[in-house]
Structure 1
Amino acid sequence: MIVVLKNNTPKAQVDGFMQKLRERGFEVHVSKGESATVLGLIGDTSKVEPEEMLAYDFVESAQRVKAPYKQVSRSFHPEDTVVSVGGNSVGDGKSVCVMAGPCSVETEEQVVEVAKAVKASGARFLRGGAFKPRTSPYSFQGLGAEGLELLKVARKETGLPIVTELMAINQIELFSDVDIIQIGARNMQNFDLLKEVGKLRNPILLKRGLASTVKEFLMSAEYIMASGNPNVILCERGIRTFDNYTRNCLDLSIVPYLKKETHLPVIIDPSHACGIRWMVPTLAKAAVAVGADGLIIEVHNNPEKALCDGEQSLTPAQFDETMKILAKYAAVEGRTL
């Protein structure tokens, strides 16, 4: 249930009202906007009628939330959530935040070179895999903890905040200094892991599962938020369909839907969506056009020799050209890169 309080309700009244609700066994989520304060009641509200709340003269309205996800819902949190890291904002409505870098960290020289290149082209974050979930057990699995340290070297060299994937609960301590922790598609419904990252304060980039519905995607985000972490970024990276002419099928329609359904930032991963280098710039343009808050793009200084996903990685020169074109698309809607 959500309860909307009238504008300018005295803080003492709001605090007293919230205390009464907690005494009745509800957890209360507060969202304060410019024109109203919204209280989200979490718990068994089946015995509470919305009309009961209207008995308080400072209550503007009250209604039940039908969606199974509560804290993720825009009903609970009408204002957009903006995730801020290192002076960069994701979801502010004014910019398209681009994260770029290699699929896998391979050497210090490689990751630093790519980091410098993508920063020069306008990327605001460095993405790079240290721990890699691979379909084949014989494929390169990443450098692990060493890869994390190399990402930190690149961060020190360039000032770019880092984004990298966490795969297991026993790795969490290694990620304390990571700017944005990515939960990959294969772990989207690893609920124990989601609960644990929900206890952290690092922003979480949650990727949609390979065959997950939007409802399942949002319920996974709810696990993180229900455990206490409000800084969640949703990422569409393509889903499996009946066809295989591309690696996955990019579901661009999810962007406007999520922007209406939830307050969380939404970004697109065009690299994993198609798995084909020449398609990435076109899909990136489409993502900006439908209103995505950001992009996460794979860039490698020598894709032909990449240890992971070279076929979908842009060269620094291709990335630079793509960023110039994306800036024009963003400008159409009054946004910047």
Structure 2
Amino acid sequence: MVIVMSPGATDDDIAHVVERVESVGGEAFVSKGVVRTIIGLVGDIESFHHLNLRTLRGVADVRRISDPYKLVSRQHHPDRSTVWVGPSGRQVPIGPGSFTFIAGPCAIETAEQTVEAARMAQSAGATILRGGAFKPRTSPYAFQGIGAAGLKILAGVREATGMPVVTEVVDARDIEIVAEHVDMLQVGTRNMANFGLLQAVGEAGKPVLLKRGMSSTIEEWLMAAEYIAQRGNLDVVLCERGIRTFEPATRNTLDISAVPVVQAASHLPIIVDPSHAAGRKDLVVPLTRAAIAVGSDGVIVDVHPNPETALCDGPQALLGTELRELAQAVRRLPPMVDRVDARELIR
């Protein structure tokens, strides 16, 4: 069951609702969105009915949700949500009606490499900078990122370019320091089912980019988003980055159908990562075109000034001709599917 509070509901109104729910042994999870607050209820449905929750001050509606993911479902939130990333004056939208281009190096190596990649991304039309300071890798011997030093580089490049920054957090103990330096927290594919981390980022007060697990179903993915929402954060953006199949021709198999399926099931925005899906730079532009055509709210792409020397995922990083082709695609194609360039909507 979900309680939808009215836009004018006060903190006292919300606290009173929570108190009433807890008085009959229920649990109430408060999630605050841009316009209104949603309260998810766990407990005995019949007991909740006896509370006459609709009559409480500040309550707009009470809905029984059949989906297992209550807070991120469109059953109680029929209009799709927009998540705003960045400080006031530089807030970039991700959601319906706009198309958001996120780009940058997969891994932060040096300040010079990061600022050069950021300038490349920005000149191609990107509005948000991605870059990994902490890199969870399959092999313990592979480059793991430069950690806190990378966060400081990202913060400096953000000030130099004006671009909001997203980076991955891999350990709940690092959330505080990561959140101090960036505008959006990423949970990567390997941590999609790390429920303690999901709950922790839900309490961090920052928008979250949640990548799909490499072998997860869409329902499992949405349930992971529910862990974040249940801790009070509805500012979640989903990212389809390819799933593991039997096909070895690409690094992963991009599930392009996930975009409309998710948009029908959830109000959360969804973007596509063609770089990690393909693992090959020659496929990034075609997959980006497909993502735009199917209605994705944006893409996140790897760029690097020297891909041949990149410490992580060089074969999929764009430069030169490929980046120019990508810039053309993200400029020309979104208007054909009634999307506005996110640069025009920054507030």
**Same fold per superposition (TM over 0.5):** yes
The amino acid of 1:42's aligned partner reads: L
CA deviation after TM superposition for structure 1 residue 2, in Å: 4.3
In 2: Cα distance, 1:216 partner to 1:156 partner? 37
CA deviation after TM superposition for structure 1 residue 161, in Å: 0.9
Name the SS for the 1:246 alignment partner.
coil
In 1: Cα distance, 2:259 partner to 2:123 partner? 28
For the Cα contact (< 8 Å) 1:31–1:77, is it kept in 2? no
The amino acid of 1:67's aligned partner reads: D
Deviation per CA, 1:67-114, whole angstroms, max 9, x where unpaired? 221111112323322211233433342221111011111111111111
Name the SS for the 2:299 alignment partner.
strand
Check if 1:104 corresponds to 2:103: no
Q: Normalising by structure 2, report the TM-score.
A: 0.85
In 2: Cα distance, 1:328 partner to 1:292 partner? 15
2:133 matched to which residue of 1?
A: 130
CA deviation after TM superposition for structure 1 residue 277, in Å: 0.6
1:144 matched to which residue of 2?
A: 147
Question: Which residue, 184, 187, 209 being the options, matches 2:188?
Answer: 184
For the Cα contact (< 8 Å) 1:117–1:316, is it kept in 2? no
2:314 matched to which residue of 1?
A: 310
CA deviation after TM superposition for structure 1 residue 20, in Å: 4.9
2:345 matched to which residue of 1?
A: none
Q: How does 1:154-173 map to 2 (within 5 A)?
A: 154-173=157-176
Bigger drift between 23-32 and 304-313 goes to 23-32
Change (3 A) 1:201 1:38: closer
1:73 matched to which residue of 2?
A: 73
Change (3 A) 1:38 1:227: closer
- Report the RMSD for the aligned CA atoms in angstroms: 3.0
The amino acid of 2:213's aligned partner reads: G
The amino acid of 2:269's aligned partner reads: P
Deviation per CA, 1:292-327, whole angstroms, max 9, x where unpaired? 111100001111111111111111542232121222
Change (3 A) 1:316 1:161: farther
The amino acid of 1:71's aligned partner reads: L
2:97 matched to which residue of 1?
A: 94
CA deviation after TM superposition for structure 1 residue 10, in Å: 10
Check if 1:27 corresponds to 2:31: no
Q: Normalising by structure 1, report the TM-score.
A: 0.87
Question: Which residue, 213, 227, 241 being the options, matches 1:209?
Answer: 213
In 2: Cα distance, 1:214 partner to 1:139 partner? 30
1:44 matched to which residue of 2?
A: 43
CA deviation after TM superposition for structure 1 residue 336, in Å: 2.6
Q: Percent identity between the aligned chains?
A: 43
Change (3 A) 1:177 1:55: closer
CA deviation after TM superposition for structure 1 residue 47, in Å: 2.1
Q: How many residues align?
A: 332
Unpaired runs of 5+ residues, structure 1, are none
2:281 matched to which residue of 1?
A: 277
For the Cα contact (< 8 Å) 2:109–2:311, is it kept in 1? yes
For the Cα contact (< 8 Å) 1:238–1:251, is it kept in 2? yes
